[in-house]
Amino acid sequence: MPKVIENLRDQLLAEAQRQISERGYASTTIRSIARACGVAAGTVYNYFPSKEVLIATFMAEDWNERLLELRALQGRDAKETTQAICEALRGFTEKHKALFSDTEAEKTFAAVFPTRHRQLRAQIAELMAPFFGPADDAEAEFGAQFAAESILTWMTEGVSFDHLWSILSKLVQTKAQGGIPNEQL
């Protein structure tokens, strides 16, 4: 009778993250993850068809948790929202820096990067949209996309929030109290 391991999926994800952080992408294998969790490699494949899917899963789950927290901030002013987005990106980048700085991982994920980047930019733009005007306004939509791309690019490059906000605040049409009135932009 096969042994039942509680939360095996979560254990596999956590072990993959740990190994990548400690040993790097290339040295982390399905076999090494399985061995550390006390299961056969085939068992891991029952949950994840490849190492790449396993990695994509833990990264997506981490980002989705952060995104839920960001969406809960609706109604905050532009500066607070932008700062929260920046902190979420910085935390995500820091947590997964072993992958982001690994050349083998970069080669492996290069094909999906443009798609994931667009998805991430769209999610951030959705959070920024209320500060750029009506949703049906093409210029407002572009403004939110522009802000999202700026946030995504510069925060992952290590630019400080204060520096980024000094520029973005000039672009944002905030509806929050004490914000910059449209006529002063």
Same domain, 107 and 27: no
Does residue 183 lie within any of the structural domains? no
Would you tell me how many other CB atoms lie within 10 Å of the CB of residue 88?
A: 20
pLDDT at 146: 94
Does residue 1 lie within any of the structural domains? no
pLDDT at 18: 96
Same domain, 80 and 161: yes
* pLDDT, mean of residues 94-106: 89
Distance CA 15, CA 154 (A): 31
Would you tell me how many other CB atoms lie within 10 Å of the CB of residue 11?
A: 16
* pLDDT, mean of residues 106-114: 87
pLDDT at 48 over 80: yes
Same domain, 168 and 153: yes
**The model's pTM:** 0.84
> By residue range, what is the domain housing residue 112?
52-176
Q: What is the separation of C-alpha 171 from the centre of its chain, rounded to a whole number of angstroms? A: 24
Same domain, 56 and 32: no
Task: Look at the chain and count its residues.
Answer: 185
pLDDT at 1 over 50: no
Does residue 3 lie within any of the structural domains? no
Same domain, 44 and 80: no
